[in-house]
Chains A and B, each alone.
Chain A
Amino acid sequence: MEPPNLYPVKLYVYDLSKGLARRLSPIMLGKQLEGIWHTSIVVHKDEFFFGSGGISSCPPGGTLLGPPDSVVDVGSTEVTEEIFLEYLSSLGESLFRGEAYNLFEHNCNTFSNEVAQFLTGRKIPSYITDLPSEVLSTPFGQALRPFLDSIQIQPPGGSTVGRPNGQS
């Protein structure tokens, strides 16, 4: 039996603040943040991310954010595209609906983490998933929490992932 195909899985990391966080965070938050991270999973030559509009996909680097600031290799997966899309559709209907988006608790990085584990069994780097708690542990973050909670991020340029119909 031929070995199953392995598909590389990458994590695209974007700094939403475009460097501002690195400069201003010591002043504003009192601690150094390297960036405001937005991540997406790239597999099967497509980029998948979660925003206020639900799970979206686009060509890699195809959102308005442009090319990623860094790329992390998550591993490889045997999961085929078909199964993966099926999985994403289920996710999009259950856990990762658009309205479930919350900047602190259930954001794009949550999604990327989930998907990375599904695909490879590994998690994404902790500095990304720890960001919300980092911010909230500062008085500034606490003070701004009500405002920040209402922020919904949806990088333009993606199309929503839906259930594939009659896909062969």
Chain B
Amino acid sequence: MAENGESGGPPRPSRGSSAAQGPASAPAEPKIIKVTVKTPKEKEEFAVPENSSVQQFKEAISKRFKSQTDQLVLIFAGKILKDQDTLIQHGIHDGLTVHLVIKSQNRPQGQSTQPSNAAGTNTTSASTPRSNSTPISTNSNPFGLGSLGGLAGLSSLGLSSTNFSELQNQMQQQLLSSPEMMIQIMENPFVQSMLSNPDLMRQLIMANPQMQQLIQRNPEISHLLNNPDIMRQTLEIARNPAMMQEMMRNQDLALSNLESIPGGYNALRRMYTDIQEPMLNAAQEQFGGNPFASVGSSSSSGEGTQPSRTENRDPLPNPWAPPPATQSSATTSTTTSSGSGSGSSSSNATGNTVAAANYVASIFSTPGMQSLLQQITENPQLIQNMLSAPYMRSMMQSLSQNPDLAAQMMLNSPVFTANPQLQEQMRPQLPAFLQQMQNPDTLSAMSNPRAMQALMQIQQGLQTLATEAPGLIPSFTPGVGVGVLGTAIGPVGPVTPIGPIGPIVPFTPIGPIGPIGPTGPAAGPPGSTGSGAPPGPTVSSSAPSETTSPTSESGPNQQFIQQMVQALAGANPPQLPSPEVRFQQQLEQLNAMGFLNREANLQALIATGGDINAAIERLLGSQPS
């Protein structure tokens, strides 16, 4: 009776949720298996019936991952699971991991994958990785010199100022041909770091169109450039001026030996015209646009030194021996009659580029320098232009920020090399200098031509003072005068007309401008001690007054200058005795000579600072009789 229920039997517990099921070889019974679903970001475990379809699986997943089923892409063993498949079909058993990719929202196709769609998307999406990979080319420069273009561009940008490019060119030529400037530049740590990177150097050199032309004509040069060993050696040589000089000396010796070989001279000359001239031209023209032109030329000369260095190791060529193997050097004229001399002479000739360049440059420097000096001094506008160049300003700024560098530069300038005393004096004053340079008042005053003229007048006056009244300041020599003036006036900054005197001296490292400061005679303005104006006499009048006041004689130069400055800027100092008293003696002399106009005499004496002869001339000039 009640066996009805029995036939049904208790429900089999196969549907119970049990973790570990039996062996997977129970196809008929839907066991629950645990499948891990792994996305790139997370991992979740799902318990699903073994025989479920992928569609069902996805539905379970979409709930957990909060996405829509058509966004889910299930991948197992490299296969994409389609909705109508079953898990078993793909061999997804308990404990295995299925990968999941959730497609982003803006995808037009909703289905997981269909072959036709896949093919379609493949072609279109194939282009995307291509475009992803095309930027590789720009990134793939292994040395990361992509920024070099910027650097080289910057250098040319900073130099090509449209205002006075010619002047700049000249200036640079003069600067860079002067060996001392070379040394200074070489010692600049920035330049050194540039030099020590052969790839950088190569890029810089190659970037120069002149060099490119040269390279086209002489392919061996490109070999030299591309050989990292040679480049490195070249740069070493360029960096070390002593080594370079040594090199050149050896070359000159060898060269002079070669000259004596019959036919050797002709060969040499041919070498020069074929190789050295274009190289020289290339090097010279580089100066205008390339701040590292010195490096460029020295590098190209270094290339020349390279073959000659190897040549030097061999014994000098034996003219009676069969011709030695021709060295690979940058020579085009191999057709020389004197075969024996040509091989070695060619390499030596190119090696002599350095010597030739220097010779020529040094010849240039003298007349060029002079004319440049003249130009500058006669035209204060030039100075103004120069100062306003961004290049200059940045240089000033960097100088002031790097006091050691500035010290080095200034102290190595030719002006100071002659006078070590001055160097010593200058050294402690340098920081004050640089401070002043930063002062915008200074800059504006410096660019004011009239201010410059006034400064020059004062300097002239000081010099005349020094010559005429040397007893005034114990250590006041003409050369030192300006330096002293500069240093002394520095601290008295607020006095506007005098303040800017200081920065004149920092110009000295900039070769052509240098002599403006100390060499008054080069300057045009006819400033004499008395500028003809009433404040003028106070200069000279204060000078003799200083002789009377003991403080100035015994005190340091600074005090003297300070007092002078005060005298100039402030009211007339009361301690000045009247000119009449001072020039009493001279007045009497003039009277005796017949110049009866006391006022005129006095004025003349004041103007000439007590010089009777000059006063007489003035009086005669003013009096028609």
Residues of A within 8 A of B (CB): 1-5, 9, 44-46, 57-59, 62, 64, 75-83, 85-87, 90-91, 93-95, 117-122, 156-159, 161-164, 166-168
Contact = CB atoms under 8 A, between A and B. Distances in A.
A158 B76 CA distance: 28
Contacts of A62: 133, 136, 140
Interface stretch (B115-123, B247-255, B264-272): B115-123
B115 A1 contact: yes
Given A57-B129, A120-B77, A121-B78, A157 B140 contact: yes
Nearest to A89: B40
B128 to A, nearest CB: 6
Interface of B: 39-41, 73, 75-80, 97, 99, 101-104, 106, 108, 113-116, 118-119, 121-122, 124-126, 128-129, 132-133, 135-136, 139-140, 142
List 3 tightest A-B contacts by C-beta distance, closest first: A121-B77, A90-B40, A120-B78
7 contacts: A4-B115, A83-B80, A83-B113, A85-B128, A90-B40, A118-B75, A156-B139
Contacts of A59: 133, 136
B113 A157 contact: no
A2 B41 CA distance: 32
B129 A44 contact: yes
Given A9-B78, A76-B78, A166-B106, A90 B115 contact: no
Greatest chain A CB density within 10 A among B75, B104, B113, B140 is at B75
Nearest to A95: B40
Contacts of B126: 44-45, 81
A5 B119 contact: yes
A74 to B, nearest CB: 9
Contacts of B40: 87, 90-91, 93-95
A75 B77 CA distance: 9
Contacts of B122: 5, 44, 80-82
A81 B142 contact: no
Greatest chain B CB density within 10 A among A81, A82, A166 is at A82
Contact of A159 (B75, B116, B139): B139
Contacts of B41: 90, 93-95
A106 to B, nearest CB: 14
Greatest chain B CB density within 10 A among A94, A118, A162, A166 is at A118
Given A76-B78, A79-B75, A3 B115 contact: yes
Contacts of B116: 2
Contacts of A45: 126, 129
B113 A156 contact: no
Contacts of A163: 104
B118 A5 contact: yes
A124 B39 CA distance: 20
Contact of A168 (B80, B121, B140): B121
A90 B136 contact: no
Nearest to A120: B78
Contacts of B115: 1-5
Given A44-B129, A81-B129, A87-B99, 11 more contacts: A3-B115, A4-B80, A59-B136, A78-B80, A80-B80, A81-B121, A81-B126, A85-B129, A86-B104, A94-B41, A168-B125
Nearest to B119: A5
Contacts of B135: 159
Contacts of B76: 121
A4 B125 contact: no
Contacts of A95: 40-41
A95 B114 CA distance: 29
A163 B132 CA distance: 11
Nearest to B98: A121
A86 B101 contact: yes
Contact of B121 (A64, A82, A118, A161): A82
Nearest to A75: B78
Contact of A85 (B97, B118, B125): B125
B582 to A, nearest CB: 82
A33 B115 CA distance: 44
A95 B115 CA distance: 30
Nearest to B139: A159
Contact of A158 (B106, B114, B121, B136): B136
A100 B101 CA distance: 21
Contacts of A166: 106
A81 B125 contact: yes
Nearest to A158: B136
A79 B136 contact: no
A31 B139 CA distance: 38
A157 B78 contact: no
Contacts of A158: 136, 139
A91 B136 CA distance: 21
Nearest to A1: B115
Contacts of A161: 132
Contacts of B118: 4-5, 78, 80
B125 A90 contact: no
A24 to B, nearest CB: 25
Greatest chain A CB density within 10 A among B78, B121, B139 is at B78
Given A46-B133, A57-B132, A168-B124, A83 B78 contact: no
A78 B118 CA distance: 9
A77 B103 contact: no
A164 B139 CA distance: 20
Contacts of A117: 97, 99
A17 to B, nearest CB: 18
A166 B108 CA distance: 9
A85 B128 CA distance: 10
A5 B118 CA distance: 8
Nearest to B41: A94
